[in-house]
Amino acid sequence: MSARPTASVVHGVAADFRSIPSVDRLLRHPASAALALEHGHRLTRDTARVVLEELRGRADRGELRASEPELDQLTTVLAARCQAQLASSARAVINLTGTVIHTNLGRAPLPALALERIVALGGSANNLEYDLQRGARGDRDSLVEALLCRLTGAQAATVVNNNAAAVLLMIAALAQGREVLVSRGELVEIGGAFRMPDVMASAGARLVEVGTTNRTHPQDYERAINAHTAMLMKVHTSNYAIQGFSSAVDEAVLSGIARKHGVVLASDLGSGSLIDLSGYGLPREPLPQDKLEAGCDVVSFSGDKLLGGPQAGMIVGSREVVERIRRHPLKRALRVSKLPLLALEATLQLYLRPELLARDLPVLRLLTRPRSAILRQARRLRAAVAEALAPRFTVEVVPLMSQIGSGSLPVDRLASAGLRIVSSASRHGDRELETLAQTLRALPRPVLGRIADHAVLWDLRCLEHDRELRVQLPQLRAALT
């Protein structure tokens, strides 16, 4: 006798194991034939196998309902499964974390103009690396070099895949087999595996630490320079701040030292910003143009942090130094792809109209939303959210503080507002909050807040349109009851 049940009973209905059709029989159904026309035979057949295999598994476990092996129902499941495999598993999410440039959430949302360029040009042959005037091979830097020079005052510019690549390339091209001096206060770990000492080693340069964690003086650099020194490097301490009894040597002083000894002065700005953010009431982030003016030979910064564009790494500086960087073989390995390059050109062009930037550049638009507007929005939304979450949770409007994110200005916070959601249960409140957070992540457009002080906090700074949240409230309500 077989241990396998041939029939099972669920809700009082028996489903015969043998009533599950064969793959061939399922594929001969007209609806399956239509699917095969739409998606091809291979995907339809492979998916049919998986669907039927699962059905047999459920029959084995006695979970099968009588209606499930019916052909009509099976073809509906089959169609949905074929479709699901073709949908992106990447999803738009609603970022209510309060961190505007969130590294885990795609960093800067792209400006409309950048998206238009990608759609307009991404699908056809293009001249990104072809000089139409000369009818010869061109350089993909030419798309953005003039813009970068105009915006930063640099003599030359080149672009690679991201700022980590830019730093690696700068060091490899300018200091391979030689020494690079970095202050002990600037030996940054950015996150992931990007640690300055490791990057140095990968680029084939020897890191020489100077000064101490909290204080580094000009003579620390002076004393460490010898015949093997190729570069002095400044690294922006993006994600931490050294406060109290501290001092660092600024670029203006370092450039004098670099010049005197004939070595290069490089600066990794991390985020960098092409405009003075203090003009918008935001904390000031160093500008590449200031660093070049102070005497840096070369400066690198990210495309998708405060710049507000696609992932990319900018390298701007003197003609001679940028040319050396461009000629290094790693440049080819680290080059930027066509889609981000198109998006970068469009993003940089927005900076040619600075008065419109807070409207056209999403990162800046979000960063400059005043608390008063966010507070009004929170008041507008509170009742509808409370209704969707009742009776398990209660909702109140609260002031909050947002962060810029991605290592920009780690200490500064932006006045914001949002909703504070707490469990109505007198016990196991935290478990309730975890359930809520999980339910929110399972929505068609997942909603990501943060949990703090026994509450789910929704910072509404990055919610530009109430509708995105409102349309999901009925579903949220249903999921919680």
Ligand X SMILES: *Cc1c(COP(=O)(O)O)cnc(C)c1O
- What residues make contact with ligand X under the rule CB under 6 A? 162-164, 167, 188, 190, 194, 235-236, 238, 268, 270-271, 302, 313, 407
- Tokens representing residue 51 in the block: 């669907």
Distance CA 167, CA 269 (A): 10
**Which CB sits closer to ligand X, 271 or 416?**
271
In the complex, minimum distance from the CB of residue 237 to ligand X, in angstroms, rounded to a whole number:
7
**Measured from the CB of residue 306, what is the shortest distance to ligand X in angstroms?**
10
What is the DSSP code string of 383-400?
A: HHHHHHHTTTEEEEEEEE
- Strand-strand pairing, 414-423 and 455-459: antiparallel
Cα gap 321→319, rounded to integer Å:
6
Question: Min. distance of Cβ 322 from ligand X in angstroms?
Answer: 18
Residue 182 or 419 with smaller CB distance to ligand X: 182
Q: 315 - beta bridge partners? A: 158, 300
The nearest distance, CB 304 to ligand X, in angstroms, is: 6
Nearer to ligand X, 101 or 322 (CB): 101
CB of 274 to ligand X, least distance (A): 15
Helix (H, G, I), strand (E, B) or coil at 279: helix
Q: Give the shortest CB-55-to-ligand X separation in angstroms.
A: 46
Cα 87 versus chain centre, distance: 21
When the beta carbons of 69 and 272 are compared against ligand X, the nearer one is 272
- What are the tokens at 309? 């564009």
- CA 159, CA 315: separation in Å to the nearest integer? 6
Least gap, CB of 406 to ligand X (angstroms):
6
Count the neighbouring beta carbons within 10 Å of the beta carbon of residue 160: 27
Nearer to ligand X, 177 or 191 (CB): 191
Q: Report the residue number, 19 or 103, with the smaller CB distance to ligand X.
A: 103
Rounded CA separation 391/352 (Å): 52
**DSSP-assigned states of every residue in 329-370:** HHHHHTBPPHHHHHHHHHHHHHTTSGGGHHHH-HHHHHHT--
Minimum Å gap between C-beta 459 and ligand X is 22
* Residue 15 or 188 with smaller CB distance to ligand X: 188
**Between 162 and 403, whose beta carbon lies closer to ligand X?**
162
Question: How far is CA 444 from each of CA 92, 107, 235, rounded to the nearest angstrom?
Answer: 9, 21, 41
Task: Report whether 274 contacts 238 (CB < 8 A).
Answer: no
